Homo-oligomer: A and B are copies of this chain.
Amino acid sequence: MKYEYLTNEDLDIAVESYITALKAEGLTPVSETIPVFEASGRVTAEAVYAHICAPHYNASAMDGIALMANVTFGATETTPVRLDASQFIQVDTGDPMPEGTDAVVMIEDVVRDGDDVLLYGAAVPWQHVRQVGEDVCAGDMILPSYTVITPAALGAMLAGGVMEVSVVKPPVVGIIPTGDEIVAPCTDPKPGDIIEFNSTIFSGILSSWGAVPKTYPIVKDIKEDIINTMKKAVEECDAVIINAGSSAGRDDYSSLAVSTVGTMLYHGIAIKPGKPAILGYAGKKPILGVPGYPVSGIIVLDQIMRPVIEVMTGRNLHQQAEIEATLGRVMTSPLKYREFVRVRLGVDDKGGYIATPLSRGAGVVTSFVKADGIIDVPQDCEGYEAGDKVKVTLLRPIQDLNNTLTIIGSHDPLIDEVADILKRQNPDSVVSSSHVGSMGAIMAVKRGEAQMGAIHLLDEATGEYNTSFVAKYFKDGGVKLEKGVKRVQGIMVAKGNPKGIKEFKDMARDDISYVNRQKGAGTRILCDYLIKKNGMNAADIYGYEREEFTHTSVAAQIASGTADAGLGIYSAAKTYDLDFIPICNEEYDLLIDEKAYDSEKIKDFLKVLHSDELKERLKRLGGYETWD
C-alpha cells in the first residue's frame, strides 16, 4: 500500500475513538497478586485496606513509669501523691503498656523514695502512650486503586499487616520489525542495509511505561510471513506493534496484516512525522502500525501507544512538564499536518527559555538525543516567527535546563571533549552545543540565546582572527573574547592522495569533486577567501554547493569516496584516516556574553579549557596548539 492511499485523520479524534473502541472490546488493566516486598513502583489493581492496626499495641512513648492515671489525681506541686511498688511499673520507650495501666509519667518527673515514688503532678489518661492505630487503623484504606506504590507505601502496607497486594500485571507488547533491507545491529553493515534499532528504542520506551516488550525476529516483506507473525504475536502478547519498512517506495503489508488478523480503525493520521500510522485491534488487543523512520516511530508511540498503555496499566504517564519558550528562529509548518518539532532549549540572559528547532528529518534519531523538548504545532498553524512564544513539552527535568551552558557556533570536537570533562567533574553540568557556524555564533550571542559562541573568523584585510568581527558586531561591547586554541585547517583528501592534490587551486580541476561547508561556517568563509585569493570562481568547483555541517561529516564524505576533497581541521582527517594538506593555523576563540562571564558554568568551562586534561585529549585528537 503506497502512502498516497492513506487517510489524514485528526490525531485527537483518532486516539479518542481508538481508546473508546478498545474499551468497548474490554481493554482494562489485568491484575496479579505479588508479595509486598516486590511491589515497589507497581500500580495497585484494587484498593488496599489495613488488616491490623499500626502500632498494633499501646506502647510507652517515653522512658518512665506506667500506671493508672486515676491513682495520680489530686497530685500538685505542694501535695504529692505517693505510690507504692504495686501501683506502677517501670517502662522504656516502645515497651507495651502493662495490663491495668493507661498512662506514663516521664522518668524526669518521678521522685524516688525507697521503693515508693512521689509524683508532684496528676497524669492525664493516655499521656505519653503511643496508641494502637496511631499510624493506621485496621480497615482503613491505605491506597486506592490504580496508585503507584511508593517505598513509603510498602512500609505502610507491611505495618498494616498486608503481605500481598493485587497489582496491575505489566502488559506484554510484541514488536515485529519488518522489511527486506532491515538487518540486526552490527558494526559493518553493507550498503543498502538498514540497521534495525527501532525495536530497541521501542523496548526502552515501553519498559519505561511499565510494559514488557517482546521483540520478534525481523520479518521480510513477504505477505504471508507478516500475517503469520502477527497472528502469533496477537496470541502471545497483550498488544502488538508492527514496524513497517521505512521505504515509501515499496509495498507495505502492515495494513493488510492488521485487517486480516483484526480490525483496522485508521490508516493515516494527520501528524508529521508519523502519518502512515495504523490503529487497529484484534479483540481487545491493540495493534499499532508504526512507520519505519525512528523519529516517526517515537512520535507515534508517544502520541498513540502511550494513552493505550495508560488504559492497560491504570497509570498516568503524562509526567512531562510544559514550559513557555521564545522561538529562536522562524519555523514553518505544513497546513496538512499537526507537526511535532524537536527543539533544544537554552536559558537566555533574562532567565527565559529559548527554543531552537532541531533537524526535522524523520530519520535523524540523534535529533531526539539532543532534544530538550517538543513543540506541538497545530494543523491550522503555518508556523511561527522568530520571537514568538511557544509551549514546549519537556523531555528532560527542568533543573537540567537551568544548569545548561548553551554554546552556539562553529563546530569543533573540543567542545564535546570539554563537555565530557565537565560531566566527569560534576554530573549535574550540561553543555548544549549547536553547530551553526561562526556567524551564527555571533548572532546567537547578540540575541542573548547563548552564553557562549565559538568562532574562527579570518579578517581578510588584516589577516587577524575574530577581533575585528567582534568589534563590528558588538559596537557597544557586552561580550568578552576568550582565547581558545589554534588549530590546523587544510584540505582533506583520500588516504595516499590518489588524485595528487597539492593546493587549493586544484579544487577547480575537472577530475576533482569537492564537498563544502554550510553558509556562515568559518570554514566556508575560508573557502571563499581562498577562491578569491587564488583568483578562482565558485562555479569552477564541482560540488561547491554540496554542504555539510561539521568537519567530521565532510571527512565522512571523502572517506566514503563520494568526494575527493574538502576543507577541514586536522583532527577530522585523522579520525577518518585521510591525508591532509595544511593551509593555515587558525584561531578558534570563544565569545562570551559579559552578563554570563562571572557565572559558575562559564568559569568551570574556562578552567577545563586551560586544563592539562583537555591538552592531553587535544594531543590525541591532533592538530591543536594551546595558548598557555
- The answer to whether A366 touches B156, judged by C-beta atoms less than 8 angstroms apart, is yes
- The answer to whether A424 touches B145, judged by C-beta atoms less than 8 angstroms apart, is yes
- The answer to whether B398 touches A321, judged by C-beta atoms less than 8 angstroms apart, is yes
- The answer to whether A158 touches B369, judged by C-beta atoms less than 8 angstroms apart, is no
A567 to B159, CA, bound (A): 26
**A504 at the binding interface (Cβ < 8 Å):** no
A55 to B195, CA, bound (A): 9
- The answer to whether B560 touches A195, judged by C-beta atoms less than 8 angstroms apart, is no
Contacts of A572 in B (CB 8 A): 139
- The answer to whether B200 touches A365, judged by C-beta atoms less than 8 angstroms apart, is no
- The answer to whether A202 touches B151, judged by C-beta atoms less than 8 angstroms apart, is yes
Stretch at the interface among A221-229, A258-266, A540-548, A585-593: A540-548
**A208 at the binding interface (Cβ < 8 Å):** yes
**A423 at the binding interface (Cβ < 8 Å):** yes
A559 to B200, CA, bound (A): 56
A83 to B493, CA, bound (A): 31
A218 to B55, CA, bound (A): 19
A363 to B368, CA, bound (A): 45
A185 to B527, CA, bound (A): 75
**A47 at the binding interface (Cβ < 8 Å):** yes
Contact A133-B552, Cβ < 8 Å, known A201-B154, A413-B141: yes
A interface size (C-beta, 8 A): 129
- The answer to whether A37 touches B427, judged by C-beta atoms less than 8 angstroms apart, is no
**A53 at the binding interface (Cβ < 8 Å):** yes
Contact A197-B155, Cβ < 8 Å, known A57-B191, A420-B141, A513-B125: yes
- The answer to whether A134 touches B247, judged by C-beta atoms less than 8 angstroms apart, is no
- The answer to whether B163 touches A397, judged by C-beta atoms less than 8 angstroms apart, is no
Q: In chain A, residues 36-68, which have Cβ atoms closer than 8 Å to a Cβ of chain B?
A: 36-37, 40-41, 47, 51-59, 63
Contacts of A130 in B (CB 8 A): 363
A562 to B562, CA, bound (A): 89
Contacts of A428 in B (CB 8 A): 316, 318
Q: In chain A, residues 356-403, which have Cβ atoms closer than 8 Å to a Cβ of chain B?
A: 361, 363-366, 368-369, 397-400
- The answer to whether B545 touches A96, judged by C-beta atoms less than 8 angstroms apart, is no
- The answer to whether B134 touches A363, judged by C-beta atoms less than 8 angstroms apart, is yes
- The answer to whether A249 touches B92, judged by C-beta atoms less than 8 angstroms apart, is yes
Among B191, B249, B250, point to the contact of A96 (Cβ < 8 A). B191
A186 to B37, CA, bound (A): 12
**A20 at the binding interface (Cβ < 8 Å):** no
- The answer to whether B575 touches A200, judged by C-beta atoms less than 8 angstroms apart, is no
Contact A139-B576, Cβ < 8 Å, known A53-B560, A200-B158, A542-B125: yes
Residue of chain B at shortest CB distance from A70: B542
| Shortest distance from the beta carbon of A133 to any chain B beta carbon, whole Å | 4
A180 to B449, CA, bound (A): 62
**A557 at the binding interface (Cβ < 8 Å):** yes
- The answer to whether B204 touches A557, judged by C-beta atoms less than 8 angstroms apart, is no
A315 to B59, CA, bound (A): 42
Among B139, B152, B181, B550, point to the contact of A369 (Cβ < 8 A). B152
A274 to B56, CA, bound (A): 24
**A497 at the binding interface (Cβ < 8 Å):** no
Q: Mark A203-246, 1 if CB is under 8 A from B, else 0.
A: 11101100000000000000000000000000000000000001
- The answer to whether A197 touches B158, judged by C-beta atoms less than 8 angstroms apart, is yes
- The answer to whether A154 touches B575, judged by C-beta atoms less than 8 angstroms apart, is no
- The answer to whether A40 touches B208, judged by C-beta atoms less than 8 angstroms apart, is yes
| Shortest distance from the beta carbon of A146 to any chain B beta carbon, whole Å | 4
Contacts of A545 in B (CB 8 A): 124-126
Contacts of A192 in B (CB 8 A): 57, 59, 94-96
A90 to B416, CA, bound (A): 41
**A419 at the binding interface (Cβ < 8 Å):** yes
- The answer to whether B419 touches A557, judged by C-beta atoms less than 8 angstroms apart, is no
| Shortest distance from the beta carbon of A153 to any chain B beta carbon, whole Å | 5
Contact A151-B201, Cβ < 8 Å, known A144-B423, A397-B319, A424-B146: yes
Residue of chain B at shortest CB distance from A147: B423
Among B40, B59, B361, B562, point to the contact of A207 (Cβ < 8 A). B40
A404 to B154, CA, bound (A): 23
A-B contact pairs, 9 of them (CB 8 A): A57-B191, A94-B192, A139-B575, A141-B419, A150-B204, A153-B369, A154-B201, A158-B197, A163-B185
- Which 4 residue pairs spanning A and B have beta carbons closest together? A151-B204, A40-B204, A152-B368, A92-B249
Query: A40-B200, A96-B192, A152-B298 provided; 12 other pairs, C-beta below 8 A?
Result: A52-B189, A92-B249, A93-B248, A125-B545, A126-B545, A131-B553, A135-B363, A147-B423, A151-B201, A151-B208, A161-B187, A321-B398
